Structure 1
Amino acid sequence: MDPFELNMNKAFQKLAVDIIPADKYLKDANECANNIMKLLQAKSRFDIGHVQIAGSTGKKTTIMSSDMDCVLFINGDELPPFKHVLDDFDNILTMTNSYQIRDVRTTKYSIQFKAKNFDFDILPAVNFTEGLRGDGDRLIDIQQQKVLELIRRDPKKNGYMYSSSLADAATRWMKRQDGFVNEMVRIAKFWYKTLYFTEYVSGAKSCIELVAVHAAIKEQNMDRKSYLRSFKRFIEYLRNFSNLNIHFEKNEFDVFDNSRPRVVDPVNPYNNLAKNWDWKSIQLVSAYANETDRRLQWLANVRAIRLDQLFESQPSYRPDIGEIFKSKDWLVSTINYSLLPDLKIRNEIFHKDSKLRYGLDIIKNYFQIAIITSNASSPNCDENQILTSVESTISKQIHNSEMAWKVPENENHEDYDVSFTMPVSDKRAIRISYSL
């Protein structure tokens, strides 16, 4: 294997591991999710059968910090959109003093809230296996068959309403993929996290996930699997998004939708996830993929293993973020890491101003990307290289101009309005502070 490809593969493999949330984060998030689902089971006036942590956490494809999708299967005659069930859940969650639950919001099909600083999405689902016995796979098969029979009657009306009822099947399908596929899915989702879209696309992350699965499966016929080759294939698919034609399972329903682009949900053949993308979003993702392809070619030409440049957010500069953070009063330094809070706010305006809070979320994402990709680019990457990458991110992506950096010894982070603490190892971190 070419030395450049070999080293890029090592960097991609390290990235796939580094973007997994810390064990403690996952443990605490899962414990909180299970406790909340037990609370709802115990106090709801509706009979709840089994429950499932679904989404990326359930599929083991979560990256950094992700929402917790929890599906509760409702016994009895209640059907989507579960208005009465959601009202009941809302009352329970808003009345409890446990788990620091706040910001409870009911949508048409779910309840969203924060608990112990984790983001939750609670989705009721129909339980078609009430009272049945058998092993897990048999019950999942029965559930999937019953749900698809309902969707087949009116795919347009029933498809989204019953999607949560396929959570067990979706989770099982992804868990059956091999480790390489799982890693490529995480890398693809990380790439997607670096992109900015002006319009919301329903199911976009699931669509990107399946494109990555398809690209990774192609590697199974190769003598040696290549992360770089698989990522290139994934990017090539998205460069030609309008012509996508991806499906995984052959079955009697597979002729339902032959339109293009097509990315068929492997557990719900009536669901073409690519159909949700509007023309503007298709043009954007294709343009972002073209830029990533250009970066890949440049890195290959200069033989550079620079994932921080490959995964630099797109667009590189957003005027709305530059407008929020006009001041160039920054302090960046390396410090000993002793479980300091990842965000400390000393100026109340950052609590009160929604634009500032939004901006903090965006730049935190910038910093995480810079630190993770710099660290993955080299097995011997030191904290000064990571610090330089963070400084470059602030200069380029927040201010779109060169910056003069202060000497940390002459400054104190406690004098600044806000501070981020971003670990780079078990014992060391980058601290980034800003004042208006």
Structure 2
Amino acid sequence: MDLQTRLRNFAQELAPSESSGKEVERCTNQIRQGLEDYCNGKSTFNRLEVVGSIGKKTSLWISMDIDIVVYFDDVVPPFDNIIETLKCFVKSNYDPNCQVTKHAVMFKYGEFFVDLLPATNFVPNYNNYRGRTQIQVNNVLKCLKSNSNLRHKEFSSSLSGAAVGFLKEQDSFTHSLCRLAKYWAMTVPLKGFCPGRSTIMELLAVKAAEETKIEQRQNIIQGFRTFLFKVRKINELEIFWEHCYTQDWIPLEILDEPPYLMDPTNPFNNLLSPRAVQYLEQLKRFANNTLCRLEKAECNWDQVDQSLAVKKIFFPLSRFQKLVDEGEKYPDFFVLGFKEMELHMPSIKIHSQTAEQTKVKTKVKPFFRMLTSFMCAISDQVKEAISCRNVQSVKSVMLSNMEDFIGGDWFDSADEHDERDVSIYIPISRSYTADVIVVSFDWCLQQASETIGECASDDETDSAEGVFTYDDEECCITKAYKYIIRKLCGMDIETQPESSPLIVSCPIMRNRANKKKNKHHNEVNEL
């Protein structure tokens, strides 16, 4: 099997399974019915639509949030009253700890994180019209063009149906390239946050697919290479789609100051804002690295392990330490295990009764993306070990890879996963599987002082069999020292049981560990 075929197959493997699609549909139907019942007589609810990657058919099985746009009649932004209605609906039916912003209500429903986004319906008697999506777009754009005081981004949700249509109408080759692009972006930990990052990756992949099909039909290797070239020149791009709207719709201030990547549904929305470009410029170096990997795989195809070669192209491009160095918070005190449980997709569980789960999930997300993409890259090795039902074989594969990804030394432990702040559950394949890897950790606060982290009260959860704990000899500290530091943070916690391992680690203190070790030695002994 050549590299072309294996890359295509890998892109298909990234798509959600049929059972995941059915679960999304079930959740959406329940939310739709619930909203209809709740809003009856209270508001002008019109309809809802699944948008985002799931609606566009470009989602990855390892990252499937459900984005739902809820259309209302006779309302315009800002949607303060509608947001309040949606918040009350979610709190009373699904999640009392939902997170609310100016533009969305976010909550956990089953395995999925769901975003509800209010929007204005611009098509009266919507169901009676053919081509109603285009009528909605035309009416929104007329509204924006006739009133320059309106903020176009507040109407993005009203155009999201057309955004779904733009991607949905693309062919399977383009969808595959979009998944490769988004998966590649997940392997790169970037400092900060960029709204619309996923959409930018999709649209760059669409443009790369269009150019590739002109020159080399549906060559996915060349398509992915073209996408990486565009990432490498992110601050020079000038892209819009003429079949969506003509150039005279685009404001001159955008055309005169590239780069620009125009939203195909909104000629007023340049996705490459200065803030976005500054954020995405971090990707340039990683794009160069991946291009080198791709070229190496092509040149040495007959000499490499072909079953792993494609995933090595996408192996996470930056070590875990980069995330530690650049993050205000970072994961530490790891516990690794595996268990049998039924799960469609990777999931996060917060073991704190007081933490707002959606906020914590947002902060953990960079590491979550890195970890899930890393596990996807090594899934074939893990599946082979698990199929033998040999605990030592699974342990060997997992530990060798985690040592490479995170570093440090690992050892057998009696620690439970619910003793940590956060647990991440990762199925080893996209099928509805019983084999799940569990990685748990504390979510530590990085400061210039000796502060190690926060401690949260535990909630009940199932623990996994075959548990291993992370240790770094350069900066090993005892549970007693951990206790001292957490007391300094003002956190009232209990000491760990004597049966727990005495060695834990703190990566952020690696460079200071030897200097601090003698200073705190007496304090630890006294305790």
Equivalent in the alignment of 1:164 = 157
What do the CA deviations read for 1:197-228 (whole angstroms, capped 9, x no partner)? Answer: 22211212111110000001123234541111
Give, in angstroms, the shift of residue 294 of structure 1: 2.4
Higher deviation after alignment, 18-27 or 360-369: 360-369
Read off the aligned partner of 2:152 and give its amino acid letter: G
Check whether the contact 1:152–1:270 (CA below 8 A) recurs between aligned residues: no
Higher deviation after alignment, 262-271 or 13-22: 13-22
The alignment status of 1:115 with 2:109, answered yes or no, reads yes
Equivalent in the alignment of 2:271 = 273
Question: 3-state SS of the aligned residue for 2:272?
Answer: helix
Which runs of structure 2 are paired with 1:12-411 in the superposition (5 Å)? 12-44=7-39, 45-63=42-60, 64-76=62-74, 78-96=75-93, 100-131=94-125, 134-137=128-131, 139-153=132-146, 157-222=150-215, 224-250=217-243, 251-252=245-246, 253-256=248-251, 257-258=254-255, 259-275=257-273, 277-278=275-276, 280-303=278-301, 304=304, 305=306, 306-321=309-324, 339=342, 365-374=369-378, 382-383=384-385, 390-399=398-407
Give, in angstroms, the shift of residue 293 of structure 1: 1.6
Higher deviation after alignment, 384-393 or 40-49: 384-393
Distance, in Å, in 2 between the alignment partners of 1:128 and 1:353 is 35
Distance 1:217 1:348, change over 3 A: closer
Distance, in Å, in 1 between the alignment partners of 2:347 and 2:406 is 18
Give, in angstroms, the shift of residue 242 of structure 1: 0.7
What do the CA deviations read for 1:123-150 (whole angstroms, capped 9, x no partner)? Answer: 111111112565442x112111110112
Distance, in Å, in 2 between the alignment partners of 1:19 and 1:90 is 33
Distance, in Å, in 1 between the alignment partners of 2:313 and 2:181 is 12
Percent identity over paired residues = 20
What do the CA deviations read for 1:212-262 (whole angstroms, capped 9, x no partner)? Answer: 000011232345411111000000011011111111124344442313111
Distance, in Å, in 2 between the alignment partners of 1:214 and 1:72 is 30
Give, in angstroms, the shift of residue 173 of structure 1: 1.4
Structure 1 vs Structure 2 CA RMSD: 3.7
Check whether the contact 1:58–1:171 (CA below 8 A) recurs between aligned residues: yes
What do the CA deviations read for 1:148-191 (whole angstroms, capped 9, x no partner)? Answer: 11222456842111111112211111111111111111111111
Q: Unaligned stretches of 5+ in structure 1?
A: 1-5
Distance, in Å, in 1 between the alignment partners of 2:200 and 2:424 is 35
Give, in angstroms, the shift of residue 428 of structure 1: 7.2
Read off the aligned partner of 1:15 and give its amino acid letter: F
Distance 1:325 1:170, change over 3 A: closer
Read off the aligned partner of 2:194 and give its amino acid letter: V
What do the CA deviations read for 1:322-367 (whole angstroms, capped 9, x no partner)? Answer: 9956557756x7x8x563797798x968997999988976665445
Question: 3-state SS of the aligned residue for 1:315?
Answer: coil
Check whether the contact 2:99–2:356 (CA below 8 A) recurs between aligned residues: no
TM-score, normalised with respect to structure 2: 0.68
Equivalent in the alignment of 1:3 = none
Distance, in Å, in 2 between the alignment partners of 1:170 and 1:189 is 17
Check whether the contact 1:244–1:260 (CA below 8 A) recurs between aligned residues: yes
Question: 3-state SS of the aligned residue for 2:296?
Answer: helix
Give, in angstroms, the shift of residue 23 of structure 1: 2.6
Distance 1:62 1:344, change over 3 A: closer
Distance 1:157 1:390, change over 3 A: farther
Check whether the contact 1:202–1:276 (CA below 8 A) recurs between aligned residues: no
Check whether the contact 1:41–1:47 (CA below 8 A) recurs between aligned residues: no
Read off the aligned partner of 2:26 and give its amino acid letter: E
Distance, in Å, in 2 between the alignment partners of 1:21 and 1:272 is 30
Read off the aligned partner of 1:108 and give its amino acid letter: K
Question: 3-state SS of the aligned residue for 2:273?
Answer: helix
Check whether the contact 1:109–1:124 (CA below 8 A) recurs between aligned residues: yes
Distance, in Å, in 2 between the alignment partners of 1:398 and 1:350 is 28
Question: 3-state SS of the aligned residue for 1:271?
Answer: strand
Check whether the contact 2:56–2:165 (CA below 8 A) recurs between aligned residues: yes
Distance, in Å, in 1 between the alignment partners of 2:45 and 2:28 is 15
Check whether the contact 1:54–1:171 (CA below 8 A) recurs between aligned residues: yes
Q: Number of residue pairs matched?
A: 414
Read off the aligned partner of 1:128 and give its amino acid letter: F
Distance 1:340 1:66, change over 3 A: closer
Check whether the contact 1:247–1:266 (CA below 8 A) recurs between aligned residues: yes
What do the CA deviations read for 1:23-66 (whole angstroms, capped 9, x no partner)? Answer: 33332222212221322222221111122111111111111232
Distance 1:144 1:113, change over 3 A: same
Equivalent in the alignment of 2:517 = none
TM-score, normalised with respect to structure 1: 0.81
Read off the aligned partner of 2:138 and give its amino acid letter: Q
Distance 1:128 1:375, change over 3 A: same
